[in-house]
Amino acid sequence: DVSLEVSGLAYAYPDGTQALFGVDAVIGKGERVALLGPNGAGKTTFVLHLNGILHGGAGTVRVGGLPVDPRDKKALKEIRRRVGLVFQDPDDQLFMPTVREDVAFGPANLGVRGAELERRVAAALERVGMAHVADRAPQHLSFGQRRRVAVATVLAMEPEILVLDEPSSNLDPASRRELAEILLSLDVTVLMVTHDLPYAAQLCPRALILSGGVIAADGPTLGLLADE
């Protein structure tokens, strides 16, 4: 089973900057893959295509077999559910008075209600070890706790693929370890954009290296890092 299939993806920004030059990648269900590469390589541009935030270039993206087609509003809504984006800064993702409301926001927005909504929220908070702070205000949590709650807000959507931007940034060693354990315990497909090579090696058996808008390497993370 395939979670993500990207084929011939090319994209230039409106100012003419060509950011992607024909990217191909297939990620199987349940794989954990690191997306590595220098600044300006096109990592952000690539990720923003996975749920249709950026579009209009060449090529195709499919998530769980469904094409990302920005003209098809109904399909796009399903794509946004299937692709769970965890931003680098959790404060871009948490805006409700309580943790519980933040985690409920996404599924509620999809029409999930009642006991099913409660189950989703409880399960997502449980997954990230944050059930005990459900009634607290996100801004009163530590940074590491806020990042875990941000992961829970996305897990509550029951995504096909979890995409994290620099998940280990600004975490102390204990929080890094806790988050690593959480990510290793998930059975969802994970794509992690990172500059943290030890974290990539620890969490992701496979890495894609993006460089100058093309996939420069794709293979076992430890092997790729040894070749660097």
Binding site for ligand ADP (CB under 6 A): 13, 15, 17, 19, 37, 39-45
What Å distances lie between residue 183 and 33, 75, 94, 144, 200, CA to CA? 12, 28, 20, 14, 11
- Tokens 């790729």 sit on residue: 224
Of the two residues 138 and 213, which places its CB atom closer to ligand ADP in the complex?
Answer: 213
Of the two residues 39 and 73, which places its CB atom closer to ligand ADP in the complex?
Answer: 39
What Å distances lie between residue 147 and 5, 11, 52, 118, CA to CA? 28, 30, 24, 21
Q: How far is the CB of 104 from ligand ADP (least distance, A)?
A: 28
Q: How far is the CB of 146 from ligand ADP (least distance, A)?
A: 19
What phi and psi, each to the nearest 5 degrees, are found at residue 32? Answer: -120, 120
Q: How far is the CB of 150 from ligand ADP (least distance, A)?
A: 16
Of the two residues 92 and 118, which places its CB atom closer to ligand ADP in the complex?
Answer: 92
Q: How far is the CB of 39 from ligand ADP (least distance, A)?
A: 4
Of the two residues 16 and 111, which places its CB atom closer to ligand ADP in the complex?
Answer: 16
Of the two residues 12 and 186, which places its CB atom closer to ligand ADP in the complex?
Answer: 12
What Å distances lie between residue 163 and 11, 12, 45, 111, 146, CA to CA? 20, 22, 13, 23, 17
Q: How far is the CB of 58 from ligand ADP (least distance, A)?
A: 16
Residues 6+ apart with CB under 8 A from 11: 18, 19, 20, 45, 49, 54, 56, 57, 58
